[in-house]
Structure 1
Amino acid sequence: MLMKASSQSLTEQLAARFSERIRNRLLAPGARLPSVRQCAEQHGVSPSTVVAAYDQLLAQGLVEARKNRGFFVREATVPAAEEAPQQVPASPQEWNAAHWIVARRGPAPVNATSLIRGMFHRISNKPQPGMGVFPSDWLETSFMPAAVRKVTGTRVLHDFSLQYGEPLGDAGLRRALANKLTGLDVPASPEQIITTVGATHALDIVSRTLLRAGDPVMVEEPGWAVEFARLNALGMHLLPVPRRADGPDLEVMAKYCEVHKPKLYVSVSVFHNPTSYCLSPGSAHRLLQLANQHDFHIVEDDTYSHIAPPHATRLSSLDGLRRTIYVGGFAKILAPNWRIGFLAAPPALLEQLLDTKLLATLTTPALLEKALALCIEQGQLRRHCERIRTRLDLARARSVKLALAAGCTFAAEPAGLFGWVDTGVDTDALSQRMLDEGYLLAPGALFHAERKPSTLMRINFTTAQDAAFWKKYGEIVKKL
């Protein structure tokens, strides 16, 4: 709450609160600030105090006033040629050849870093339903420290500290990963696997190898905000493909292929983020036919494989790693700070992908890779994942019950780690009100290549079991 007894005036306190959120990316570029009346009621101050605070933010260049619309967080500056991008039509029925010459280019006004920053700088000790990871206490194990001790307690520590590791990654880990992929029906030899500094690094290697600035890339929408921001930072031409329950909208993809000739499609086949949809076999087969017909590659991000059914439909399995590149990692399920990921690729692309890795990081840390290999080979990772899945099933059931009781509906069948929830109110506004109460949300606008108002939000089932959160949520929704 704002304090009248503070050395700062109420105006200064209010302006400082918004300024901090904007600078920390907890208020996204393009986000609308509460109206003067709403803000005054929310913080228990006069409208003139709010007007004065907003004037300070204007003077700092953090917000802009739009006539008859209110105050908005200022967008990042873009070149004049990109200030008014053409809009991509919302449905296939609106599209024809004349409309498909240009899709959206330039930086997307997506606040991808807000949730990442929330991971590193917790806003309170309360459970955070907007987080994209398992709680740290869910990941605590005794076998990981034991594996590290075993690796570092031998001559290996000395030997591997004084030389670079293998370019492709530790051979033992690559063998273990090849065996693990065999269990998923993904045919990859150890020589087809490259270890990386997390799954995001693997995605970056693929992008930097196969693409050049301006190249068209198809992405799922809604989709992972970090991937949108990463591709935009590389100067790629994003082509959003609506994601449905059975897979991507293939009619939209076909139109993109005819007009833009995209080089890459980025997909999460199993437990898609944020909807938790899983790809159907029929959609997967048609998608691969499209890739062959129009000569584009598919990078399949299987980040959630550890909590997914082993025989869920994966493009890399059906395709046999011909047009697909498989990406995985262990930060979500095991050790976030170990930063171990990997990719499995067609033999024809391996040397190019390896060159990109070497230019960026030379090699990856062999000691932690050896420790991870032990955890996989001894079955400890498998048993850990089984415990997580069981616990997640219980958490999901509790969270769904609370969400429904709070008046939410699910836009997608609850599954996996995330729920895609319809609140019935603007979740950008909701997220700011909940932030005042110490809760970080993930509003639906974060998951679109081009920010637009949404009544949807993503919840993390492991951190949405708190009845106090849903009580506060209900109170605030009634006021919006």
Structure 2
Amino acid sequence: MLTRSPAETLTAQLAHRFAERIRNRLLPPGSRLPSVRECARRHGVSPYTVVAAYDQLLAQGLIEARRNRGFFVRESRAEMAEPAAPAPARPAPRPGADGRTQPPVDAATLIRGMFRQVHGLDGVTKAVPGMGVLPPGWLEAPFMSTAVRRVSGATNLFSLSLQYGEPAGELVLRRALSHKLAALEIEAAPEQIVTTVGATHALDIICRTLLRPGDAVMVDEPGWAVEFARLTLMGMRILPVPRREHGPDLDVMARYCEAYEPAQRPKLFISVSVLHNPTGQCLSPSSAHRVLQLAQQYGFLIVEDDTYSHLAQQHAVRMCALDGLRRTIYVSGFAKILAPNWRVGYLAAAPDLVERFIDTKLLGTLTTPSLFEQALAHCLEQGQIRRHAERVRARLGAARARTVQLALQAGCRFVTEPAGLFGWVDTGVDTDRLAQVMMDDGYLLAPGSLFHAVRRPSSLMRINFATTQDAGFWRDFERARRQL
């Protein structure tokens, strides 16, 4: 809680706390601050102190008062201006159960939380339940530094550093990736593989190559918040496809394709087949075949994002394996299992698309870092990543079992069968509001509204099994939920 100090008044402490979160975008533009009474109760101060703190934030231009509505984080001129390029209209914030507009926790906020953790009122930094990756301690592997030393001998280090790498990526890595994909029954020659600066970069290359502003793209819903945000910024028409137990809603996909003239039909379907984010579900063989039939019938391509492949069993169904990369494009990377900062991802596609993807890569990043690509190739060739992934999967399984037990004891309900890295849970309260309350305890949640193309209040949230196996988090969660 705030503490009385001759060095800094309670008003200044409270104003500083909100200012820090606003500047770090943990409270994004448009967020509604707690009411004066709610803020006073939460921070253990008088309403007068809260009013004075809000006055300081108003004077700094960080917030604005809206008559009969409360205080909101101020939007910059750039954010308030109309976009120059045609883009889908952003939905207006919807009121929660109590009639108040809820503060958005957007994709950028969640990503910033990965780099700049939230501090609670007690000043303690805690784990991030909404995090999209494994904790750094889980990824430590001695063989990584050995691989870097091996490929960075004096002569090799200079040759790799003083010139650009291969446009498609280091051949030694593309060969290793070709063998890796063959183990997943995906036949892709090294010439069909392009390395990228992470899997997100691979998705960006594909979209920039194949789409133009205004094109329609089908996506999973619930789905990856960053994908929604990225496609929106590019001016695409997002067509959400409900995710069912065994895959996408095929009837909805068919209706999207039938509702438009051929030139306006969806160009792409971007989907996570294996350990879907956030539900953890996997695609069934029958659903995979039907999606491929729709793609053939209506002429769209399928982008299969296999980011969580290292956390899944090898026998999981992948459309790229069934299709042979004819109408499918495969995307994956290593940030989730090994080295996020190496930023090594890749895509595999039909030969007629590969050169176009390389051109887009060259225009965006020129080439990718040869040193890390060669080091990664060595780790793949020696089987070190495969063994490391087996250890991580075992550790994650134990964490998942513990977290599931704690979540159920806390009164949550799993909407889908717990699997992989994420749990999709029903909390029974508006998780946008819950996220703001728990930020005071030092936790950054991933509310369910974040995983819908059109934001709407939700009682669901995504949890990371690796970062929510602490009973202390669930005690704080229950206390926060009681406040709502």
User: Structure 1 length normalisation: TM-score?
Assistant: 0.90
| 1:115 alignment partner, one of 110, 114, 117 | 110
Contact 1:169 1:194 in 2 (8 A): yes
1:356 equivalent in alignment to 2:360: yes
* In structure 2, C-alpha distance between the alignment counterparts of 1:445 and 1:30, rounded to whole Å: 15
1:235 equivalent in alignment to 2:230: no
Query: What is the correspondence of 1:179-328 to structure 2 with a 5 Å cutoff?
Result: 179-257=179-257, 258-259=259-260, 260-328=264-332
Contact 1:36 1:50 in 2 (8 A): yes
* In structure 1, C-alpha distance between the alignment counterparts of 2:353 and 2:428, rounded to whole Å: 46
What is aligned with 1:96? Answer: none
CA RMSD of aligned residues (A): 2.3
* In structure 2, C-alpha distance between the alignment counterparts of 1:110 and 1:298, rounded to whole Å: 29
Measured at CA, do residues 360 and 45 of structure 1 come closer, stay the same or move farther in structure 2, by a change above 3 Å?
Answer: same
In structure 2, runs of 5+ residues without a counterpart are 93-103, 119-123
What is aligned with 1:435? Answer: 439
* In structure 1, C-alpha distance between the alignment counterparts of 2:290 and 2:470, rounded to whole Å: 42
> Counterpart of 1:345 in structure 2: which amino acid?
A
Contact 1:419 1:459 in 2 (8 A): yes
Measured at CA, do residues 52 and 374 of structure 1 come closer, stay the same or move farther in structure 2, by a change above 3 Å?
Answer: same
Farther off after superposition, 109-118 or 312-321: 109-118
> Counterpart of 1:339 in structure 2: which amino acid?
R
1:421 equivalent in alignment to 2:453: no
Which secondary structure state, in structure 2, belongs to the residue aligned with residue 242 of structure 1? strand
* In structure 1, C-alpha distance between the alignment counterparts of 2:193 and 2:390, rounded to whole Å: 25
* In structure 2, C-alpha distance between the alignment counterparts of 1:427 and 1:85, rounded to whole Å: 24
Which secondary structure state, in structure 2, belongs to the residue aligned with residue 419 of structure 1? strand
Contact 1:216 1:236 in 2 (8 A): yes
Instruction: State the shift of 1:37 in Å.
Output: 2.1
1:398 equivalent in alignment to 2:393: no
Measured at CA, do residues 206 and 83 of structure 1 come closer, stay the same or move farther in structure 2, by a change above 3 Å?
Answer: closer
Which secondary structure state, in structure 2, belongs to the residue aligned with residue 272 of structure 1? coil
Which secondary structure state, in structure 1, belongs to the residue aligned with residue 218 of structure 2? strand
What is aligned with 1:160? Answer: 160
* In structure 2, C-alpha distance between the alignment counterparts of 1:149 and 1:467, rounded to whole Å: 41
* In structure 2, C-alpha distance between the alignment counterparts of 1:245 and 1:14, rounded to whole Å: 45
Measured at CA, do residues 399 and 72 of structure 1 come closer, stay the same or move farther in structure 2, by a change above 3 Å?
Answer: same
Contact 2:87 2:213 in 1 (8 A): no
Contact 2:27 2:105 in 1 (8 A): no
Measured at CA, do residues 84 and 311 of structure 1 come closer, stay the same or move farther in structure 2, by a change above 3 Å?
Answer: closer
Instruction: State the shift of 1:279 in Å.
Output: 1.1
Which secondary structure state, in structure 1, belongs to the residue aligned with residue 80 of structure 2? coil
Contact 1:129 1:460 in 2 (8 A): yes
Instruction: State the shift of 1:154 in Å.
Output: 5.7
Task: Name the count of aligned residue pairs.
Answer: 460
* In structure 2, C-alpha distance between the alignment counterparts of 1:212 and 1:170, rounded to whole Å: 30
1:2-52 C-alpha deviation (Å, 9 max, x unpaired) = 233254543343333223223322124444332332211101122233344
Contact 1:270 1:312 in 2 (8 A): yes
1:335-389 C-alpha deviation (Å, 9 max, x unpaired) = 1111100000111111111100111111111111111111011111100000000
1:13 equivalent in alignment to 2:13: yes
Measured at CA, do residues 34 and 317 of structure 1 come closer, stay the same or move farther in structure 2, by a change above 3 Å?
Answer: same
Farther off after superposition, 245-254 or 169-178: 245-254
Instruction: State the shift of 1:73 in Å.
Output: 3.9
* In structure 2, C-alpha distance between the alignment counterparts of 1:314 and 1:83, rounded to whole Å: 32
Identity of aligned residues (%): 67
> Counterpart of 2:238 in structure 1: which amino acid?
L
* In structure 2, C-alpha distance between the alignment counterparts of 1:289 and 1:432, rounded to whole Å: 44
Which secondary structure state, in structure 2, belongs to the residue aligned with residue 126 of structure 1? coil
Contact 1:329 1:341 in 2 (8 A): yes
* In structure 2, C-alpha distance between the alignment counterparts of 1:158 and 1:265, rounded to whole Å: 42
Contact 2:216 2:268 in 1 (8 A): yes
| 1:79 alignment partner, one of 79, 82, 85 | 82
* In structure 2, C-alpha distance between the alignment counterparts of 1:183 and 1:462, rounded to whole Å: 27
Instruction: State the shift of 1:400 in Å.
Output: 0.4
Instruction: State the shift of 1:256 in Å.
Output: 2.1
Farther off after superposition, 1-10 or 257-266: 1-10
> Counterpart of 1:79 in structure 2: which amino acid?
E
Measured at CA, do residues 472 and 36 of structure 1 come closer, stay the same or move farther in structure 2, by a change above 3 Å?
Answer: same
Farther off after superposition, 377-386 or 71-80: 71-80
In structure 1, runs of 5+ residues without a counterpart are 89-108
